[in-house]
Amino acid sequence: MIQFPIPLIGFAAFSGTGKTTLLRKIIPLLSDKGIAIGMVKHSHHNIDIDHPGKDSYELREAGTQQMVLASPMRTSLIIEHPEQQDSDLASALRLLQTDTLDLVLVEGFKHESFNKIELHRKAMNKPFLYPDDPDIIAIATEQDIVIKNANHLVRLDLNQPQEVANFIESQLNQT
């Protein structure tokens, strides 16, 4: 289990299940309660937040291994990996400034060991993750299900973001 100084809750599901859609709905609900949220999102694709023609892009392309772009409204850190490597959650978490956060939400990294909410849609015809992942603490789905051999799991309504936000808040109150 990943050790982290503040609560960490992930969202695990197959691509297309609606992780980002749900997160876009629950983050404002939690933020409105004064919860400061950090976010880590895993991507299997090459990402580039910088663009040709911009000074920061040209400096990075010139050979910097790390680039911090700072403005009055936001700061971003770009780290170049000399060789292609898959990201791991612990490395991404170390980049967060936890002294200003109450909670970190994670999208993806479903194979890492930390508390997760599984999202499941019957229409996708994919298997449940919880039978093979002991770190799943709840299942958010739009269907009535019987959770077999896992009485500790909470069933949440995937179409009720407030219910998911309330569950997360209850997890925060237990720490």
Instruction: Assess whether 52 and 66 both reside in one domain.
Output: yes
Kindly state the average pLDDT of the residues 40-53: 74
Instruction: Assess whether 100 and 113 both reside in one domain.
Output: yes
Compute CA distances 39 → 84, 99, 101, 154, 161, whole Å. Answer: 23, 14, 10, 23, 17
Q: Is the pLDDT of residue 47 over 70?
A: no
C-beta separation of 114 from 10 below 8 A: yes
Kindly state the average pLDDT of the residues 114-141: 95
Instruction: Assess whether 168 and 144 both reside in one domain.
Output: yes
Instruction: Assess whether 97 and 138 both reside in one domain.
Output: yes
Whether 2 is covered by a domain: the verdict is no
State residue 150's pLDDT score: 67
Kindly state the average pLDDT of the residues 60-87: 83
**Considering its fold, how many domains does the chain have in total?**
2
Q: Which residues contact 160 (CB under 8 A, 6 or more apart)?
A: none
Instruction: Assess whether 79 and 163 both reside in one domain.
Output: no
Q: Bridge-partner residues for 75, per DSSP?
A: 70
Query: Percentage of the chain surpassing pLDDT 90?
Result: 65
Instruction: Assess whether 59 and 22 both reside in one domain.
Output: no
What is the CA angle 123-12-14, rounded to 5?
A: 40
User: Cα 110 vs. chain centroid, distance in angstroms?
Assistant: 9
State residue 172's pLDDT score: 95
Whether 158 is covered by a domain: the verdict is yes
Query: In terms of residue numbers, what domain contains 69?
Result: 46-85
Instruction: Assess whether 58 and 112 both reside in one domain.
Output: no
Kindly state the average pLDDT of the residues 56-74: 87
C-beta separation of 138 from 156 below 8 A: yes
C-beta separation of 134 from 120 below 8 A: no
* Helix (DSSP H) and strand (DSSP E) numbers for the chain: 4, 8
Instruction: Assess whether 75 and 127 both reside in one domain.
Output: no
Return mean pLDDT, the chain. Answer: 90
Q: Is the pLDDT of residue 143 over 70?
A: yes
User: Cα 140 vs. chain centroid, distance in angstroms?
Assistant: 15
Q: What is the phi-psi region of residue 151: left when phi exceeds 0, alpha when psi lies from -120 to 50, beta otherwise?
A: alpha
Whether 70 is covered by a domain: the verdict is yes
pLDDT band at residue 92 under the 50/70/90 scheme: very high
Q: Is the pLDDT of residue 132 over 60?
A: yes
